[in-house]
Amino acid sequence: MSSFRLLIATVVVGLALVLQVSLFPHFAWQGVVPNLCLLVVVGAALTRGAQFAAVLGFVAGVLLDLAPPADHVAGRWALALVVVGYVAGRVRQDVKPTAVAVVSTVAACSFIGTSIFAITGLVLQDPVTGFGELVPVILVAVLWDVLLTPFVLPPVMAMFNRLEPERATV
Amino acid sequence: MDVRHMLGRRGELDRSARRERRWGSVGRLDERNRPSKALLIALVLASASLITLDYHGGQGSPMEPARRAVGEVFGPIETGASTALRPFVAVPNWFRTHDSMQREIGELEAQNARLRSDMATNSYDRNRLEEFDGLTTAATDLDYALVPARVVGLGPSQSFSRTVTIDAGSRAGIRPDMTVLNNDGLVGRVLRVTSTTATVLLIVDADSVVGGRVGQSMEVGFLHGRGVLGNDGRLDLELIDESEVPMKHDTVVTWGSEGGAPYVSGVPVGRVTSVYSSLRETSQRAVIEPFVDFGSLDLVGVVVPSGSRSDRSVIEADGSLR
């Protein structure tokens, strides 16, 4: 059952990845698009907990790293999304996820995820960019993810709840 | 309190409970979901080893086959998604006809013709014709064909690299290190291919280096992408001859590499917008504004050797379709 859930989740992540690469660049601001894969991982964390979300984060990250047109050092998004899955899953245990809590979790996770990706890029010199360019990109990414939260998180969370209703908490 | 009032209250409570549930979950604090430390450490280590493998691997990275495999799966999906979504995102081009492909071929033919006439007329080639040895090179350089392709995926700025996916791959005759251009000028080069798609590194990427030649003075130099995000990407030109000062509004074309890989020569790249001189380094640095609008890339052409096999129509150097 667990592997079946992971399979379904991977398909959802793949769909998010394709939309992120093919659809959203048309609406992008300075090339920054909403990170739908990250939103799916956060949705998984809020319903299924940190362990499942960390595994899904790894899968989603590897896909983001390898699927065209990615050209950065592989493993960077994987690392970022494992941490995102873990953090979002931990938040769930402390806060009752009301709409406000969900939005703030998304904002925090988006900030953490994009920052980890950017910092690994600085460390590995891949590519050589200045710190000054990172900050606006990270902030716009957070804004995008928060804007898309009301449209993405409810269906994703409903789906994860339905995948295993007896474990889902009401 | 009358019964109806009580019922009303009940309804309100139900609604609010439902609203809570719509957001998905859960106030229950449970230990079941506390992640196992071992799993987390394993995942982080797995990510770190991926990074290490790919970082030290370089060209022969062990991740390349994995990239290719994932690309073979996601390439066609991206192409399909992009094709399906194109009418919805291109609102100005809403009324697309069945012969839109035909029109695009016409556009590409016009583009090809214009490129050739540019090459014949610009100062770069006029200078070049004076050089006897350059003449033969120019003749062979002109002997190329274009494979038309569309951009189906753009890398996000969050990834801090500027790459796109195009919907033509090895079956269309495309190989790594081929020049990609559109009707405005140089777009980039092919990094890697799958059977149906190819990944293109744009010249504005921070990792991109293109040999450039200033049209007026024939001076050669290197064009570095700034990695500046967004649609107003700029390139930096460093001339090899440090005493040479590029002129403002000079056109920069590609210098060309041996065998036309990764860049064929004579493709327009951009225009000099400003020149800086550094006294300390005694070198000139010019800022180039590319001709290509990287924010709205759609139809591109990949330069292939004339007569190469392809699964689609190829535009030959003389403008004919094959």
Question: Which residue would you say has higher pLDDT here, B7 or A130?
Answer: A130
Peptide bond into B246 cis (omega under 30): no
Mean pLDDT over residues A72-91, rounded?
91
Set out the domains of chain B in order of their start, with CATH numbers.
Answer: 91-204+296-305 (2.40.10.340), 209-295 (2.40.10.350)
Distance CA B36, CA A88 (A): 15
- Mean pLDDT in chain A? 85
Confirm whether A36 is domain-assigned. Answer: yes
Q: Do B155 and A19 touch (CB under 8 A)?
A: no
pLDDT confidence tier of residue B237, bands split at 50, 70 and 90 = confident
The alpha-carbon radius of gyration of chain B (Å, integer) is 26
Q: A59 to chain B nearest CA, in Å? A: 10
Q: Do B35 and A102 touch (CB under 8 A)?
A: no
Distance CA B223, CA B236 (A): 5
Mean pLDDT over residues B107-132, rounded?
64
CB within 8 Å of B186: residues ≥ 6 apart: B179, B180, B203, B210, B254, B263, B267, B268, B269, B290, B291, B292
Confirm whether A17 is domain-assigned. Answer: yes
Tokens for A70, please give them. Answer: 């990615």
CATH number of the domain within which A115 lies = 1.10.1760.20
Q: A166 to chain B nearest CA, in Å? A: 12
Nearest to B35 among A62, A89, A137 (CB): A89
**Measured CA distances, B267 to B5, B183, B238, B253 (Å):** 79, 10, 18, 5
Question: Which residue would you say has higher pLDDT here, A136 or A132?
Answer: A136
- A118 burial type by CB count under 10 A (0-12 exposed, 13-18 middle, 19+ buried): buried
pLDDT confidence tier of residue B200, bands split at 50, 70 and 90 = very high
Tell me, what's the pLDDT at B317? 66
Question: Which residues are B198's β-sheet partners?
Answer: B166, B193
Tell me, what's the pLDDT at B197? 92
Tell me, what's the pLDDT at B110? 81
Q: Which range has the worst mean pLDDT, A110-114, B1-5, B77-81?
A: B1-5
Confirm whether A169 is domain-assigned. Answer: no
**Helices in chain B by DSSP H: which ranges?**
3-22, 37-57, 63-89, 100-121, 123-130, 132-141
Indicate if the pLDDT at residue A37 is higher than 60. Answer: yes
Tell me, what's the pLDDT at B231? 56
pLDDT confidence tier of residue B123, bands split at 50, 70 and 90 = low
Distance CA B187, CA B192 (A): 15
Indicate if the pLDDT at residue A121 is higher than 70. Answer: yes
Mean pLDDT over residues B92-119, rounded?
69
Confirm whether A75 is domain-assigned. Answer: yes
To test the contact with chain B by mutation, choose from A19, A22, A131 the residue with the greatest count of B C-beta atoms within 10 A, namely A22
pLDDT confidence tier of residue B21, bands split at 50, 70 and 90 = very low
Question: Which residue would you say has higher pLDDT here, B153 or B94?
Answer: B153
Indicate if the pLDDT at residue A168 is higher than 70. Answer: no
In chain A, which residues have their Cβ closer than 8 Å to the Cβ of B63?
Answer: 66, 74
Confirm whether A44 is domain-assigned. Answer: yes
Indicate if the pLDDT at residue B303 is higher than 90. Answer: no
Complex prediction ipTM? 0.84
Give percent of chain B above pLDDT 90: 9
Indicate if the pLDDT at residue B313 is higher than 60. Answer: yes
Let me know: does B149 contact B164? Beta carbons within 8 Å.
no
Confirm whether A168 is domain-assigned. Answer: no
Q: Which range has the worst mean pLDDT, A11-15, A98-102, B55-59, B108-112?
A: B55-59
Tell me, what's the pLDDT at B3? 47
Confirm whether A128 is domain-assigned. Answer: yes
Contact A14/B at CB under 8 A = yes
pLDDT confidence tier of residue B1, bands split at 50, 70 and 90 = very low
Tell me, what's the pLDDT at A40? 94
Nearest to B156 among A31, A75, A86 (CB): A31
pTM equals 0.77
Let me know: does B177 contact B189? Beta carbons within 8 Å.
yes
Q: How many helices (H) and strands (E) does chain B have?
A: 6, 12
Question: Which residues are B193's β-sheet partners?
Answer: B198
- Count of structural domains within chain A: 1
Would residue B275 be called left, alpha or beta, if left means φ above 0 and alpha means ψ between -120 and 50 degrees?
beta
pLDDT confidence tier of residue A1, bands split at 50, 70 and 90 = low
Interface of B with A in 140-199 (CB under 8 A): 152-165, 191-192, 194, 197-199
Tell me, what's the pLDDT at B134? 41
- Mean pLDDT in chain B? 75
Confirm whether A48 is domain-assigned. Answer: yes
Q: B46 to chain A nearest CA, in Å? A: 8
CB within 8 Å of B137: residues ≥ 6 apart: B256, B265
Tell me, what's the pLDDT at B28? 45
Q: Do B34 and A51 touch (CB under 8 A)?
A: yes
Tens digits of residue pLDDT in A138-164 = 899 999 999 999 999 999 988 888 886
Structural domain boundaries enclosing A49: 2-163
Question: Which residue would you say has higher pLDDT here, B76 or A132?
Answer: B76
pLDDT confidence tier of residue B36, bands split at 50, 70 and 90 = confident
